[in-house]
Amino acid sequence: MKYVKLGKSGMDVSRICLGCMSFGKPGQENGVFPWAKDYDGAKEIFREAVEQGINYFDTANVYQNGTSEEITGRLIRDFGLDRDEIVVATKVHFAMREGKPNGAGLSRKNIMTEIDHSLKRLGLDYVDLYQIHRLDHDTPMEEIMEALHDVVKSGKARYIGASTMFAWEFERLNQIAERHGWTKFVSMQNQYNLIYREEEREMMPLCADRGIAVVPWSPLAGGRTAHPWGTVTARNSVDRVSPMVWGSTDAQDRPVVDRLEKVAANLSYSMAQVSLAWMLSKPYVTAPIVGATSPVHIKEAVSAIDITLSSETIKELEALYVPHIKTGVF
C-alpha cells in the first residue's frame, strides 16, 4: 500500500479508501440499498482491506440509517485496529429523522446533534474527518462553518471535508472560514469517474490550486465501468440508486464503457483495474472511495495502484467522453 497526505493536512491516508456505504442492514435506508452487507457479510471485505494496508474508512450517518456506522465501528474494534493509525470519516446532512423539523440539514443544532449520534454508533471518541454530505442552502454558510469549527475545537473531529457542490460554493465556504479564523475544509468528496468528468472543469483545478484533497465517490460509477455494458450483477439487478444517477445518460456513456472494455482486454487487466488506474493517474486525486461487496473488489482496487497507463492509453480512454448535464447529484 502507498500512503499520501490528505491535502495540506499532515494526516496520512491509504491511496485507496474503503467506502462503507455497502455495510449495514440491507434496505434500512428507505429500502434503496437492498444489496448492503450485514456484519457477517462485511467482515471478510473489511479483513481484506486491512490486510491490504487500507487505513482510511468512509461512511455516513445516513447509510443504512446509521447501521453502516454501527458495523464499521464494530469491525474496527473486533479487528483490534490501532485508533491512532486509522482514518475514520463520516458525513452529515441527509434526513435521519424523516418529517421532523430538525431532522436533517446543516444547522448548528443538527450538526451538533448528529456528530454525537455518529460517535455513539461508531463507538469512537472522535472521527478524523467530518464531512458535509451536501450543502444545505437553507442554512447560512457562516452558521455551517462556525458549527463545524466548534466540532473540531471540541475534539470530536480532527479535520473537516465537503462533498458534491459547485466550486464557487466550496471556495466561498472556505473563504468565510479563513476570514473568521475558523477551521477550513481539507478535502472534497465529489463524483468522478470515466463516465462523469464534469468536475474537471472547475472543482479539480480549484482543489489542485488550494492543495485540497480530492477523494472521489463512485470511481467505478456504481459498477458501470467495472463490467461490459449490460452486465447483470447481484447488485445492479436490485439497485434503485444507480439508474437515478446515471440512467439519463446511457447513450453518452455506453461508447466510453465499450472503449474501456476494449482497452482493458488489450492490456490484460480488468475494467475495474483500468478505471482506477486512470483515476490514480490524475495528480489531483488523493484516494478514490471504493465500495465493495466482495473481497475480490478490494484486491482489484489495490492492484490498480501499481498500474501505470501510457499517455496514449489515457487519451484513448477519454476520447469519447462528451459533456454531461449535472443531474441527480446536486
Q: 112-162 pLDDT, tens per residue?
A: 999 999 999 999 999 999 999 999 999 999 999 999 999 999 999 999 999
The answer to whether position 323 is within a domain reads: no
Report the first-to-last Cα separation within the chain, whole angstroms: 33
| Whether 4 contacts 13, CB under 8 Å | yes
In this prediction, residue 233 carries a pLDDT of: 83
The answer to whether position 324 is within a domain reads: no
In this prediction, residue 328 carries a pLDDT of: 47
In this prediction, residue 232 carries a pLDDT of: 83
Q: At what angle do helices 39-51 and 295-303 cross, to 10 degrees?
A: 20
Q: At what angle do helices 67-78 and 39-51 cross, to 10 degrees?
A: 50
Quick check: is 63 catalytic?
yes
The answer to whether position 21 is within a domain reads: yes
Longest Cα–Cα distance in the chain:
55
**CATH, residue 40:** 3.20.20.100
Average of per-residue pLDDT values in the chain: 95
The answer to whether position 23 is within a domain reads: yes
How far is 154 from 95, CA to CA, in rounded Å? 24
- Residue 95 CA: distances (Å) to CA of 17, 28, 45, 139, 266: 25, 13, 28, 15, 45
Q: Which of the residues in the chain have pLDDT under 70?
A: 240, 326-330
The answer to whether position 102 is within a domain reads: yes
In this prediction, residue 208 carries a pLDDT of: 98
The answer to whether position 330 is within a domain reads: no
Q: Which residue among 56, 63, 192, 269 is the active-site one?
A: 63
How far is 42 from 25, CA to CA, in rounded Å? 11
The answer to whether position 16 is within a domain reads: yes
The answer to whether position 329 is within a domain reads: no
Domain count along the chain: 1
Which domain range does residue 100 map to? Answer: 3-318
